Amino acid sequence: MIDGQPQRRKGAPVLRPSLTLGILGGGQLGRMMAMAAATLGIRTHVYAPEAESIAFEVCAEHTCAPYLDKAALKAFAERVQVVTFEFENVPTATLERLQHYAPHLRIHPSASALSITQDRINEKTFMAGLGLETAPFRAVDSLETLEEAVRAIGAPSILKTRRMGYDGKGQARIMTPHGAAEAYEAIGRQSAILEGFVSFSREVSVLCARRADGAVATYDVCENEHRNHILSRTTLPSSILPATARQAREAAIAIAGALDYVGILAVEMFVVGEGAGEHVVMNEIAPRVHNSGHWTIEGAETSQFEQHVRAVMGLPLGSTVRRGAIEMDNLLGEDMRRVPDLLETPGAHLHLYGKKLALKGRKMGHVTIVR
């Protein structure tokens, strides 16, 4: 479905109370996922390497071990029936090993979906292959190939590491053709992608949930404001035209389908052009629940976290209907001074993640207002 309600189906699987969902990653996304699973009566087992993982505080069991610890992975694989993850940088070797130890284990999303989205070149090539518009891009693996790419794409352009980038990490902007060497140094001379600069009016994203049987559900397009490359605010409804919103939702559905994806994915897009020329240009795919979807906890009939759990557990998808006009603000370390006020603001739904240190730029929580 593009909007409205997921289709009703016959013979949907029943929740078995003995099921345990394994979650790789112990940050706020894993934490909110575990809480959504608990709401449906599903036990969770969180696996993460960091002793201070905040998701450990809301799960039935946890394992604190490196992602490639064979004994720990084996024990984990034997104790869960379904595995998912909260972030795209989990090693694909971890997923392969889990599957090896427990051949019947269901792992969603799949290692193949992950391997495409973990690499910016693969990701962009994949989207272009679906006929979706992206920024012009070139692979870079040396200063020479970077200089060649800058000549082809022009400046301004953005150099990004192929792998492991998020929240603007591993990126350098090239403002003139002479900036190539400096930018290449800045990202640590790694394999990279050069992307042409897109002159956009707004940034939007679409969350799409997909089940193994192909059933899909998308949420309303949301508008995102970033500050220092970190999401600052998400608002709905978006001011884009209905036709643009439809194009955005259809693009997300096409991506999820082509990846044979199971779970929630988010596609970040740029809005370019005006009037009849308005359209979206694909930016990035996040193969997971996404910060720009936190508004769904209070703002949609089914939160992205519950929707992801439903999808990976093989349950029917829930309604994605929006419940009002939405404003979701991230609370970074420096925003924690807003907390006392937010606690007294009627209708402000405050979410704090329980992180001990309010470091500058660190995501400490978020707040959603639904009107």
CB of 13 to its own copies, least distance (A): 8
Per the CB < 8 A criterion, the answer to whether 158 and 218 are in contact is: no
Query: Is 100 or 323 the residue whose CB approaches its own copies more closely?
Result: 323
3-state secondary structure of 106: strand
Residue type at position 114: L
Euclidean distance between CA atoms 311 and 330, whole angstroms: 26
Q: Which residues contact 125 (CB under 8 A, 6 or more apart)?
A: none
Q: Tell the smallest beta-carbon distance from residue 5 to its own copies (Å).
A: 5
Nearer to its own copies, 3 or 147 (CB): 3
Contacts of 281 (CB under 8 A, 6+ apart): 133, 134, 135, 198, 200, 269, 270, 271, 272
The footprint of its own copies (CB under 8 A) covers 5-6, 8-9, 12-15, 17-18, 31, 34-35, 38-44, 56-60, 301, 310, 315-316, 318-319, 321, 323, 339-340, 343-344, 346-347, 349-356, 364-365
Q: In whole angstroms, what is the distance from residue 59 CA to residue 225 CA?
A: 32
Q: Nearest approach, Cβ of 267 to its own copies (angstroms)?
A: 24
Terminal-residue alpha carbon distance, the chain: 26
CB of 367 to its own copies, least distance (A): 11
CB of 47 to its own copies, least distance (A): 16
Residue 305's Cβ-count burial label (10 Å; 0-12, 13-18, 19+) is buried
- Angle ∠(290,294,299) on CA atoms, nearest 5: 135
Of the pair 247, 302, the CB lying nearest its own copies is at 302
Q: How far is the CB of 286 from its own copies (least distance, A)?
A: 23
